[in-house]
Chains A and B, each alone.
Chain A
């Protein structure tokens, strides 16, 4: 097997659909979330620990919002990039009621920058963030993981997965529920 044929390669993991636990119909669940987003006045957060699918859900909602006519703008922060570039800060106040800002990794911003971000985006139609913290904005959805969810994702990527070779329960425990890391480990087992 080569990296390009490995079912657990990064581009496959990164394009996994978000699976709502216990929900068969993903579209219906997305609809419910969008309804909740309206009730929260289009200001909300997707929360959860590392590797639980926050970014996946954010991007899936971005597609749904775009399909509903919003002009979506995605910002991404991580531990190696904890602030926006000056140009981004400059552009924030220009967003209007048609614009929806989606910020992945909001907890990276220092609190005073977070407050500045909230002030500058008041004119935007919506703000949806992902964060490990649950107090930045009202929670739209808390992402959680389980061995069953990990198993579903594994089978989605590799229907021939051998449970004896890499038991899902053990993998889940080893990575403390971090689904992304668990799937990355399976990449190595394939090679």
Chain B
């Protein structure tokens, strides 16, 4: 099994939008591979479907069996790292050996003050106040559960991150180990 490692400068884990994220990757491989790819990604996790977006990549072609290399990314301005009741949005660096399934992930926060935004818990929500168009939109993302609709609607109305969460188009499947469907 290969050893892949990602180390950010000074082990920094909190970043603000537009900041430089730099560090060093190192590796010890079992055999020859085509490339190592470092991906700057964000993904959501929680009650609903998972969204993943690859924002940037750096490729290291034909790497030697062991070595290290510096990397540098300029972080985008959005979306911000956050956690609510239903969804967390997490930024990460992912180092992937190509071909193969070996990878290493290093998570970090991207937010205006560098720390993940914690959304408050919703108590006694009032369903009647939610517009119909919003209910329909949320229904799609919450498996139809009414309480989810309420919680997410509050999230969507009270936070500017909403569009990044609900309009992202890249969706990952938990079953990625097999061939991707050519229709979904």
A13 to B47, CA, bound (A): 9
Residue ID in chain A nearest B145 by CB atoms: A184
A188 in contact (CB, < 8 A): yes
A62-B45 contact given A4-B88, A75-B183, A81-B184, CB 8 Å threshold:
no
Interface residues of B toward A: which range?
20 to 34
B153 in contact (CB, < 8 A): no
A87 to B182, CA, bound (A): 9
Partner of A191, one of B50, B85, B182, B183: B85
Query: Is there contact, CB below 8 Å, between A14 and B175?
Result: yes
| Complex contacts, B46 vs chain A, CB 8 Å | 3-4, 6, 9-10, 187
A109-164 with Cβ < 8 A to chain B:
none
A91-B178 contact given A3-B86, A6-B46, A191-B85, CB 8 Å threshold:
no
A3 to B121, CA, bound (A): 12
B179 in contact (CB, < 8 A): yes
B48 in contact (CB, < 8 A): yes
A72 to B175, CA, bound (A): 13
A76-B47 contact given A2-B88, A3-B88, CB 8 Å threshold:
no
A9 to B173, CA, bound (A): 14
Query: Is there contact, CB below 8 Å, between B182 and A187?
Result: no
* B interface list, Cβ under 8 A from A: 45-50, 83-88, 90, 118, 121, 143, 145, 147, 173-175, 177-184
* A interface list, Cβ under 8 A from B: 2-4, 6, 9-11, 14-15, 55, 59, 62-63, 66, 71-76, 81, 84-85, 87-88, 91, 184, 187-188, 191
